[in-house]
Chains A and B, each alone.
Chain A
Amino acid sequence: MINKIKLSLVLLVIAISQSNALIEVDITRGNLDPLPIAVSPLSAEEVTEDNLTKELKEENIGQKISEVVENNLKNSGLFNPLNKDAFLQKPDIAHLKPRFEDWSLIKAQALITGKVTLVNEKLRVEFRLWDVLAGKEMMALAFTTVPSNWRRVGHIITDKVYERLTGEKGYFDTRIIYVAEEGPKTKRIKKLAIMDQDGSNIKYLTLGNELVLTPRFNPTNQMVTYLSYFRNLPRVYLLDIETGIQEVVGDFPGMTFAPRFSPDGKKIIMSFAMDGNSDIYTMDLENRIVERITNHPSIDTSPSYSPDGKFICFNSDRSGYQQIYVMKSDGTSVKRISFGKGLYGTPVWSPRGDLIAFTKLHKGKFYIGVMRNDGSGERLLTENYYQEAPSWSPNGRVLIFYRETKTDSEGKGFSAKLWSIDLTGYNERMVKTESDASDPSWSSLLSN
């Protein structure tokens, strides 16, 4: 795993032709007409007849990479990858010079081609993006990496294609940390788990001996902060997922919970509960200096920084019920921003800075929604029996959250799953996990 993270990814730009792009994908509206795109399998090129090259051909890594790309594009809801059976041109020839008539015949507007080669035991992947209607190359890139990294190559290709066609950074070369759940509701076993954004490469980071909740990524590195009930003392912990080293950070004389990193990754902001009152504190991870941010007899929790670090949104019941508030990062100028009907919780600031996502509870239903950071423009994206805890994709276009089902009169039928939805309110879909899952947190892009 360490190797995968410390990926030595050499990015070579072969040529970026800034042709007059005809294709543009608008991601600001619900996309009911996804762009038809053909993802040609990446052909395997023989340079030498060594064992690794044979393996490369036998395992069909080129085909597998193109499947990762296809799956990503499809799940984004913005693209419609076409059935490969209809492709007329062979992958290796298409990569050199596509016969655009053949591709427009099957209604493809964009085409991805590529090839894989093994050079000195390294995997070299080359791909091109073509505008079929204009008959032009839009982008050409090559990567060199270790062969076991082939899935990541697929994600990086998707990010490049997404960025070229939408004008915004992608979110495919990312991971999700979450809580894997099993067992009956009354004795639930919970483990920290991590997986690629598309649900592959699941790894469990704790054994399930103690209750763990609410893991969150450091936006600048591979550290995670979470709540653990180790030795029956609920405290905030820090975990380095490269080394596996854990340490307690919120060793206060009471429960610390609801941790999150500051945007520069240098502080943890969290709640500390004592004598029936929860307030918000920060801890500087370098010098361990603790600062108290709120001082109010109500519950203050679920803090989240604005991306510039100047403001904090949080959840408080100082008005009598759970509502969302914004304050300066030193704790002054506290302002309530949620005024709609119902209760509001789990505010989380968009990485773009303009929106705050939240959970809303109204008349026995739970909603995931967004509002501007002054509370205006509230928009509910999805309604369900129970769902909460949205987390933003690094480009601020998709939210991931978890949803629980109602049990029957015998207490059966419970499940917890991860779901994602576009900011537009479209493309709601379940993110598959091996076990039940909750508390998802989306990482930053692993490479840029």
Chain B
Amino acid sequence: MNLSKFFKNTFLVMLACLVLSACATKKVQNQMQGDVYTGTDTVEYLASGVPDRVFFATNESVLTTASRDTLRKQAEWLRKNSKINVVLEGHADERGTREYNLALGERRANAAKDYLMTYGISGNRISVISYGKERPVDSGSNPLAWSKNRRSVTVKAN
């Protein structure tokens, strides 16, 4: 009897641990889908409801559904504010060689530029610069920090 009670208690404690750890994992995953950042704590806004940046998976320059949504909002805002030009700043995380990351940042910023252009924004209004891994927003050395740093940021040029 005592023994079964012991087992029962142990089981309850273990169950509690599982639930807690699941919560902890879920909290991180809430800010990442796969290894793409989906959180908002580093995001700034060009205008109300117009986020300034999109995020990428490791080694990728493919735009996610969320990124395309953000860029459509930016395109709409740029159509309304036709005198504003922008610079797209492409970035990579710190887990790659410097020179390759410069090229990767350029590729990411251009993926965003191409998308803005398909939504009617003239290429003359958009310039592109890559910072590679030189300008992280989060100086941490962990997957979440890296996901925030793999980004293309749209910045007003004038």
Q: Which residues of A contact B (CB under 8 A)?
A: 184-188, 211, 213-214, 227, 232, 234, 254-255, 257-258, 271, 273, 275-278, 299, 301-302, 315, 317, 321-322, 345-346, 359, 361, 364, 386, 388-389, 404, 406-411, 414, 438-439
Q: Give, as a whole number of angstroms, the nearest-CB distance from B43 to chain A.
A: 16
Closest A residue by C-beta to B142: A409
Which of B100, B114, B136 gathers most chain A CB within 10 Å? B100
Stretch at the interface among B5-13, B30-38, B71-79, B127-135: B127-135
Asked if residues A214 and B99 are in contact (CB atoms below 8 Å), the reply is: yes
Give the complex CA separation of A188 and B59 in angstroms: 23
B68-108 Cβ-contact flags toward A at 8 Å (1 or 0): 00000000000000000000000000111111101110110
Given A214-B98, A276-B61, A407-B140, 18 more A-B residue pairs with CB atoms under 8 Å apart are A184-B139, A186-B135, A255-B130, A299-B104, A302-B100, A315-B100, A317-B59, A346-B97, A386-B94, A388-B97, A388-B98, A408-B141, A409-B142, A411-B138, A411-B140, A411-B145, A414-B141, A439-B98
Centre residue among B61, B134, B141 by max chain A CB count within 10 A:
B141
The answer to the question of B46 belonging to the interface, with a C-beta cut-off of 8 Å to chain A, is no
Residue of B with least CB distance to A409:
B140
Interface residues of B (CB under 8 A from A): 59, 61, 94-100, 102-104, 106-107, 109-111, 113-114, 128-131, 134-142, 145
Cα separation A214 to B100 with both chains bound (whole Å):
12
Contact across chains for A345 and B107 when beta carbons are under 8 A apart? no
On whether the beta carbons of B99 and A276 are closer than 8 Å, the reply is: no
14 contacts between A and B (CB under 8 A): A185-B139, A186-B136, A211-B131, A227-B102, A254-B128, A255-B102, A276-B113, A299-B100, A299-B107, A322-B96, A386-B94, A389-B98, A409-B142, A411-B145
B107 touches A188 (CB 8 A): no
Distance in angstroms between the alpha carbons of A389 and B96 in the assembled complex? 11
With beta carbons under 8 angstroms apart, the residue of B59, B100, B140 that contacts A301 is B100
CB-CB < 8 A to A185: which residues of B? 136, 139
For A386, what are the chain B residues with a Cβ–Cβ distance below 8 Å?
94-95
B59-A411 in contact (CB<8A): no
Contact of B139 among A186, A232, A278, A321 (CB under 8 A): A186
With A345-B96, A346-B97, A388-B97 given, is the CB distance from A301 to B139 under 8 Å?
no
Given contacts A186-B139, A276-B111, A411-B138, are A346 and B106 in contact (CB under 8 A)? no
Does A188 lie within 8 Å of B99, measured CB to CB?
Answer: no
Task: List, in ascending order, chain A residues with CB within 8 A of B135's CB.
Answer: 186-187
Which residue among A232, A301, A439 has the maximum number of chain B CB atoms within 10 Å of its CB?
A301
In Å, the complex CA distance between A406 and B141 comes to 6
Choice from B97, B129, B136, B145 contacting A255 with Cβ under 8 Å: B129
Min Cβ gap A390→B in Å is 11
Q: Which residues of A contact B111 (CB under 8 A)?
A: 276
**Contact A188 to B134, CB < 8 A, known contacts A271-B99, A345-B100, A406-B141:** yes
Q: Determine if B97 and A345 form an interchain contact, defined as CB atoms under 8 angstroms apart.
A: yes
Among all A-B residue pairs, the 6 with the closest Cβ atoms: A276-B110, A411-B139, A345-B97, A185-B139, A278-B103, A299-B103
A255 touches B139 (CB 8 A): no
Query: Smallest CB–CB gap between A333 and chain B, Å?
Result: 23
Q: A276-B106, A411-B145 are in contact. Are A322 and B94 (CB under 8 A)?
A: no
Find B99's partner among A346, A408, A410 (CB 8 Å cutoff).
A346
In the bound complex, residues from chain B placing their C-beta under 8 Å from that of A234 are: 102, 129-130
Name which residue of chain A comes closest to B59, CB basis.
Answer: A321
Chain A residues near B130 (CB-CB < 8 A): 234, 255, 273
B97 touches A407 (CB 8 A): no
> Which of chain B's residues has its CB closest to A405's CB?
B141
CA distance A359 to B110 in the complex (A): 27
Which residues of the partner chain A approach B104 to less than 8 Å between Cβ atoms?
299
Question: In the complex the two chains form, is B99's CB within 8 Å of A302's CB?
Answer: yes
Q: Given the known A-B contacts A258-B102, A345-B99, A346-B99, are A276 and B134 also in contact in the complex, defined by CB atoms under 8 Å? A: no
Which residues on B sit within 8 Å (CB–CB) of A187? 135
A434 to B6, CA, bound (A): 61
Task: Quote the shortest CB–CB distance from B98 to chain A (angstroms).
Answer: 6
In the bound assembly, the distance between CA atoms of A365 and B150 in angstroms comes to 19
